[in-house]
Amino acid sequence: QQEAGSEKVTIGALIRNTDEQFVADYAENLKKLAAERGVDLKLLDSRSDQAMQLDQLNVLLTQGVKHFVIVPNVTEATEDMAKKIDAVGGGAAFSNIQPSVEALKVSPNFYLASSPESVAGQIQAQILDEYFQAHPEKMANGDPNAIDAIFLYGQLGHPAQVFRSEAAVKGLKDAGYTVNIVAEDTANWKPDEAQAKMDTWLAAYSGKFDVVIANNDGMALGAVESLLTNKYTDDPSDPTKDVDGDGTVLRVPVIGVDATGVAVKSMSEKKLFATVLQDAVGQSTTAFELAYMMATEGSATGKDAWGISPLTEVTGESPATDAAIVGQCYLVPFAAVTMDNYKEFMQ
């Protein structure tokens, strides 16, 4: 039942888990936009539980909500959600975790407004490729084509963990490196676990790895702290000096994802080497505008959102691989945050 007597536009937002930095920023921006446009935003957090997200969708549907912004928990769940929304004649824009091709095929009112997780991994690979091009001497085993990497994963099975990790390895391989994984383990997104793991790895693999790749900034910072306290720095007596001029005071670069304030601050101290900005503001604005257009104009098909136009031809990345729905895909660019540009991202 549509709420009678209320002319207000209502948008439902189903958000994966606001414990995560990216998602929290995404949600904050949605609230801001809703306040600006006078939209009644019903924002719900599923705490990483897909069953709960489904329940929340059901509740909003019974409340008469038709248009949604969704950060799903899993790609595979998007088709079912799309079908439910389509059944009441509504539509949705998916962010961050890609919807499946089938989900977008449910109706033209379903959109991708995202930078897929895998792009974060790709950018990590690009940054590292540039780094090793410039500093071939930093390769631990002397082979300029083999990267000895340590990986810190997020919670295993979490989509961000899976896609970011796979893409980073693939990106390095595509750039022509052999990737030799010296050590890998989950730290469940947590800085303290990452620190403990790194401590142990330093005992086992000191001098045998040339990069630490983390699925998020939190773990990257935990690893940085471990390297600092274990004096794994260019100059063990002064951990603030970047002796070899590679952009980091640590003996190896550490790289994360998220570009949180703390991470950028760490970069300004030449501790963390680089990170990747998942544009939470960009993604949420795009998704919000798509949902808003659907609610106010009936459809968003073919229109620009946040200045981004829909794709016109297929790309190699799902779901924009199917010509039938390529016009429903809005790709929000990722940004590499490096020593050259980090100041732009300072809070």
Partner 1 sequence: MDTKISAVADKKGIVTLKTIQHTLGKHTNLVTLVVLIVALGIMTGGRALQISSLQNLMVAEAVRAFAALGVGLIIINRGIDLSIGQVVGLVACVSASLAQTSDYAGALYPGTVFPVFLPIIVGIAVGTLFGIINGLLVAYGNLPPFIATLGTMSIAAGLQLIYTRASTIGSLKNEYKHIAQGSLGPLPYLMIYVLAAVLILWIMMTQTRQGKAFYAIGGNPQAARVSGINVKLNLLKVYALGGFLYGISGVLLSSRLGLANPLTGDGMELDAIAAATVGGISHSGGIGTIGGIFIGVFTLGIITFGMTYMGVDSYYQLLVKGMIIIVAVYFDMKRHAKRA
Enumerate binding residues for partner 1 (CB under 8 A): 18-21, 24, 28, 42-45, 47-52, 54-56, 58-59, 62-63, 73-77, 79-80, 153, 155-159, 161-162, 183-186, 188-192, 195-197, 199-201, 203-204, 217-218, 221-222, 225, 229, 260-263, 265-266, 346-347
Least CB distance to partner 1 at residue 221 (A) = 6
Q: What is the 3-state secondary structure (H, E, C) of the chain?
A: CCCCCCCCCEEEEEECCCCCHHHHHHHHHHHHHHHHHCCEEEEEECCCCHHHHHHHHHHHHHCCCCEEEECCCCHHHHHHHHHHHHHCCCEEEECCCCCCHHHHHCCCCEEEEECCHHHHHHHHHHHHHHHHHHCHHHCCCCCCCEEEEEEEECCCCCHHHHHHHHHHHHHHHHCCCEEEEEEEEECCCCHHHHHHHHHHHHHHHCCCCCEEEECCHHHHHHHHHHHHHCCCECCCCCCCCCCCCCCCCECCCEECCCCCHHHHHHHHCCCCCEEEECCHHHHHHHHHHHHHHHHHHCCCCCCCECCECCCCCCCCCCCCCCHHHHHHEEECCCEEECCCCHHHHCC
Closest approach of partner 1 to the CB of residue 128, in Å: 22
φ and ψ at residue 140, rounded to 5 degrees: -60, -45
**5 vs 176, which CB is nearer to partner 1?**
5
Quick one: 94 or 131, whose CB is closer to partner 1? 94
Choice between 183 and 336, CB closer to partner 1: 183
Q: How far is the CB of 119 from partner 1 (least distance, A)?
A: 19
**Residue with Cβ nearer partner 1 (32 or 135):** 32
CB of 292 to partner 1, least distance (A): 18
Task: With beta carbons less than 8 A apart as the criterion, state whether 1 and 10 touch.
Answer: no
